[in-house]
Chain A
Amino acid sequence: MKATIESLFYSIMHHLRGNVMHKVVYACFIAGCLVSGVSLLFICAGHPHPYFYASDGFDPGLQAVRLLSASAAFILFAIAGKTWNTTGRLMRDMQRKTELLALSETKNEKLSKTNTELDKFVYSVSHDLRAPLKSMTGIIEITGQESEDPFVKEHMDLLQESISKLDRFIVDMLEYSRNAKSEIRKEKIDFQELLNDITRNLKYMCENQRPVEISLDVQSESPFCSDKGKLSTVLNNLISNSIRYHNPESKDPFVRVKVKTTDKQVEIMVKDNGIGISKDLHDKIFEMFYRVTENSVGSGLGLYLVKETVEKLNGEIKVDSHPGVGTEFSLQIPNLFFQ
């Protein structure tokens, strides 16, 4: 709005300069030239015009003064004209600048509108894609519970597995699009609370399998600020991976999450004794759509999302893993509390 008014002001000034003021200056300039030119002409011709004579006769001093003043007028007008031109150019630049500002303002407004619309679109699509899956899950549960036939039960489990896989994929895509937006929201984070929430939700994951023991160790030496939603995505993905890829032969499958906040950063360690990943694949696991095993149930987006998100938070992530022994992810995320 301000930019629009400014732009209007400059365009009026520009118009004025171009049409009215320019003509005045131009007229003065012509007049100056004429005066000095005519005086010069008369002097050169030595014509005894009364203008060049004092009352008591021809005065070369007075003549020189008049000539000089005429030239001075000429020069002054020239300078004035030049200055006016420069001012005009400056003004034009400023006008262009304010116009650009107004343009970027409207563009920004449009962009944020598009962003909100895109958000709505993504949520609607993900909802519409998930809703039928949820209905299918409902029917599968009913059918599985009703039937005594072990084959029916098994088939229902297989169906459910596929549905869960598709559902996870949709959730991951949603999180990916949410993360793709660049802004980082600064919020105070209580890691104990955050991890409690995450593990509570993940408990449902273990319902049909052997429970994986989750232990939390949070040391808060300093208050911590960062993007809670993004950090939650990271931790959720890492911990759910540890549960999903636990070692079925292990007697005591576990996930240990260790968090230590300092005034500079937070150090997070997610360690498990799961199936592990061989060393030559460590670089690949963060790639989009990469899956370690053929029968892995993930979408291939989880760890990609983790890495992207950590980078967005200006943090770092490292992996140490050995097949049959376990996996350890360690990450550092800067603390925004003092910034």
Chain B
Amino acid sequence: MDISVYDFERVMIVDDTKIDRYIATYLMQKNNFARNILEFDLATKAIMFLEDNSNNQSVLPQVIVLDIRMPKMDGFQFLEKLALLPPSVRDFSCIIMVSSSLDASDHTRAGSNPVIKKFINKPLCKANLEEIKSLYREMTFQDK
């Protein structure tokens, strides 16, 4: 039985690059950031998971770490699809965008989308996890 204290019960990572998912997972496990990490290599699979579990908040992730450039469906398209889901899913997770894009339009697009709580330049580091924690606290505090 795992008795350690974790910052989050469930965190979702959506990234097509295996090594980047590995880095994120490693950091999260090492720093007791998340008890369960849901890894998805495609945004389409991730959105399907959320759709299937829209009535089951006990499995929904508190934080979604989302890459921008992915095949089939990119990060922004994922958010568009997410916006169409019921509020129980749509407003549940704290969304963090990660990318190594230098394209200013990606940055402004992410900045102008209120759903995205933070844009992080890759690679993810320990300091980013602390930031995510305080952002999540802020988000849930506003809701109450």
The contact of B102 among A133, A137, A174, by CB within 8 Å, is A174
- Please determine whether A141 and B103 come into contact, CB atoms closer than 8 angstroms: no
Q: Which residues of A contact B126 (CB under 8 A)?
A: 145
| Closest chain A CB from B47 CB (angstroms) | 22
Q: Which residues of A contact B117 (CB under 8 A)?
A: none
The contact of A141 among B101, B102, B123, by CB within 8 Å, is B123
Q: Does A135 contact B (CB under 8 A)?
A: yes
Query: Does more than half of chain A's interface fall in helix, strand or loop, or is it mixed?
Result: helix
Interface centre among B23, B123, B124, B125 (most CB of A within 10 A): B123
Kindly state the separation between the CA atoms of A171 and B27 in the bound complex, as whole angstroms. 27
Kindly state the separation between the CA atoms of A174 and B101 in the bound complex, as whole angstroms. 11
Complex: chain A residue closest to B23, CB-CB = A138
Q: Assuming A131-B122, A134-B123, is B102 touching A123 (CB within 8 A)?
A: yes
The contact of B23 among A127, A131, A135, A174, by CB within 8 Å, is A135
Q: Which residues of A contact B100 (CB under 8 A)?
A: 127, 130-131, 133-134
Q: Does B69 contact A (CB under 8 A)?
A: yes
Kindly state the separation between the CA atoms of A137 and B27 in the bound complex, as whole angstroms. 13
Q: Does B20 contact A (CB under 8 A)?
A: yes
Q: Does B53 contact A (CB under 8 A)?
A: no
Q: Which residues of B contact A134 (CB under 8 A)?
A: 20, 100, 121-123
Q: Does B17 contact A (CB under 8 A)?
A: yes
26 contacts between A and B (CB under 8 A): A123-B102, A123-B103, A127-B99, A127-B101, A127-B102, A130-B102, A131-B17, A131-B100, A131-B122, A133-B100, A134-B20, A134-B100, A134-B122, A134-B123, A135-B19, A135-B20, A135-B122, A138-B20, A138-B122, A138-B123, A139-B23, A141-B125, A142-B23, A142-B26, A142-B27, A145-B126
Kindly state the separation between the CA atoms of A138 and B69 in the bound complex, as whole angstroms. 18
Q: Which residues of B contact A133 (CB under 8 A)?
A: 100
| Closest chain B CB from A12 CB (angstroms) | 46
Q: Which residues of A contact B17 (CB under 8 A)?
A: 131, 135
Query: Does more than half of chain B's interface fall in helix, strand or loop, or is it mixed?
Result: loop
Give the number of residues in B that approach A within 8 Å (Cβ atoms).
18
Q: Does A199 contact B (CB under 8 A)?
A: no
Kindly state the separation between the CA atoms of A133 and B100 in the bound complex, as whole angstroms. 9
Kindly state the separation between the CA atoms of A164 and B144 in the bound complex, as whole angstroms. 44
Complex: chain B residue closest to A171, CB-CB = B102
| Closest chain A CB from B50 CB (angstroms) | 25
Kindly state the separation between the CA atoms of A307 and B122 in the bound complex, as whole angstroms. 30
Q: Which residues of A contact B102 (CB under 8 A)?
A: 123, 126-127, 130, 171, 174
Closest 9 CB pairs of A and B: A138-B123, A138-B23, A134-B122, A135-B19, A134-B100, A123-B103, A130-B100, A131-B100, A134-B123
Kindly state the separation between the CA atoms of A151 and B101 in the bound complex, as whole angstroms. 33
Kindly state the separation between the CA atoms of A227 and B69 in the bound complex, as whole angstroms. 29
Complex: chain B residue closest to A145, CB-CB = B126
- Please determine whether A138 and B124 come into contact, CB atoms closer than 8 angstroms: yes
Q: Which residues of B contact A123 (CB under 8 A)?
A: 101-103
Q: Which residues of A contact B19 (CB under 8 A)?
A: 135, 138-139
Interface residues of B in 122-139 (CB under 8 A from A): 122-126
Interface residues of B in 95-112 (CB under 8 A from A): 99-103
- Please determine whether B101 and A135 come into contact, CB atoms closer than 8 angstroms: no
